[in-house]
Amino acid sequence: MKRSSRPRVLFCCFLVAILLGSLFLVTLRNESFSKYQTVLEPRHFSLDQNKTESFRTFSDSRRKVITEEKLRNILNENCDTSIEEFDVSIGNEILTMTEYKDNLARDFVAKNANPGKKSSVSPTLRSYENLPKPNPNKQLQNVKEVVDMKAMTENIENERKRRIALGDDDLLQIKELVTEMENETIYKVPNLVHFIWFGCRRFRVDHYITLLGAFRYQNPKFILFHTDCEPVSEYWTVFKKIAGATLRVVKRSPPLTIWEIPIKIVEHRADVARLQIMLEVGGIYLDTDSIVLRSVDSLRMDKMTLSESNVDSLANGIIFANRHSWFLQRWYWEYKYFVDTHWGKNSVLVPWAMWKLFPDKIKVVKKLICRPNWSELSYIFHELYDWHQNYILHLYARYLKTWDGKEERRLKELAVLNTTYGQIARHVIWGDERVRDITDWIVTCNISQILES
């Protein structure tokens, strides 16, 4: 062989050696693949059924793959568990956590965002101005009857002493409250928001929205939560944390009589209690489903303000009152003729009649507090009603299951719900009515995490 050909031969032998070494490594790798029936660093797979179990066994130690059921169990045991490191197996498919949450959020929105078909145009409210109305004189026992202020004062004082004897809190012993009550400004109604909560029951998300709306948009001096059984729930715990010193839980037993007449219906007890609270200290009374949407300071300029809720009624679920209001005193006086079985007469029909008979003693808001009303609930739960001028929206929570299909919406549903209810819930909870991206917390059960997101 010539001397010049030797380098060429050596180079060819070198290439052959490299090729043989590569083939050996590929063979070794294929044997490993065959042994474990998988590949390293899996992200998204479609596997044969007979290979799935062996894949999961190997992959659990490498990629922390868990089943969807196991993921739910982990979160049920501890909502704060970090789950981003997991992939999720669903049938023969394995998804990264990002893919899993994207798919879940997309399906969730498709299922829950639009509970029903909407009208082609935004609904509007009809006026009650020209509709026939009942005779207001028939709603009062004696239109010309004069309030006996001495008897009125004694009645309120006796009820206060009865509650104190039961161990209830005395509003008049809360110095900051008395200061606010007696503070003379341009406002005739003190910036005190009152809620009544009689009986032990669950504090739901709609209750949370109601209290948060008052705190966020009215900025009251105090929120006074009058109750004989303080609620226990995560929503209540979160609200207490948010409200801080603004919230005062006031122990208060429900009234059992009014003018020595027995009260057995719990709603009527709450009706009487709210008037007694207004006569003691005044302020803003709200039902626990009356959601404040913007400041109501302009409604504090008169001694008494109520809202029209129907053609023959004023709502007692939202009351603005100075404790010396003549209208408030006359309203309470009419309870001397209270009949417990007459649902709603003293609470909504009597104040309507008094408005028609004594219009100079009260300010009445027509459409911006209690409309839509109970006969227009499709506007709240099915449609997109333009609520932006409303001071308050009354949710009529007793009809939630009938009209919304559920007694309580989950936060995730409210985040995407394309209805009036969904909009106002987001407006209060997150300060923005727009639909929220729920992808990051679609699998969490931590309510605090969602509320603070």
HSE on the CB side for 202, CA within 13 Å? 6
What residues form DSSP beta bridges with 308?
A: 314
Q: Write the DSSP assignment of 377-417 as a string of letters.
A: THHHHTS----TT-SEEE--GGGHHHHHSSSS--HHHHHH-
Angstrom distances, CA of residue 381 to CA of 124, 270, 385, 418: 15, 26, 9, 9
What is the reported pLDDT for 46? 36
Closest CA to 428 of 378, 392, 376: 392
Average model confidence (pLDDT) for the chain? Answer: 87
Task: Provide the whole-model pTM.
Answer: 0.83
Distance CA 1, CA 5 (A): 7
CA-angle at 108, arms to 106 and 109, nearest 5°: 70
Over residues 125-174, the pLDDT tens digits come to 999 988 999 999 999 999 999 999 999 999 999 999 999 999 999 999 99
Q: Is a pLDDT exceeding 80 seen at residue 336? A: yes
Cβ atoms < 10 Å from Cβ of 316: 23
The residue type of 328 is L
pLDDT band at 90 (very low <50, low <70, confident <90, very high): confident
| Tokens encoding 207 | 């209750």
pLDDT band at 41 (very low <50, low <70, confident <90, very high): very low
pLDDT band at 80 (very low <50, low <70, confident <90, very high): low
What is the reported pLDDT for 269? 97
Who wins on pLDDT, 35 or 419? Answer: 419
Question: Any residues with CB less than 8 A from the CB of 251 and at least 6 apart, and which?
Answer: 167, 168, 169, 227, 228
Distance CA 36, CA 301 (A): 78
What is the reported pLDDT for 9? 53
What is the reported pLDDT for 97? 87
Q: Is a pLDDT exceeding 50 seen at residue 344? A: yes
Over residues 253-293, the pLDDT tens digits come to 999 999 999 999 999 999 999 999 999 999 999 999 999 99
| Tokens encoding 377 | 């609930």
Over residues 410-435, the pLDDT tens digits come to 999 999 999 999 999 999 999 999 99
Would the CA dihedral through 70, 71, 74, 75 be positive or negative? negative
33-42, 123-132, 228-237, 320-329: least confidently modelled range: 33-42
Q: Is a pLDDT exceeding 70 seen at residue 221? A: yes
Over residues 166-206, the pLDDT tens digits come to 999 999 999 898 888 888 789 999 999 999 999 999 999 99
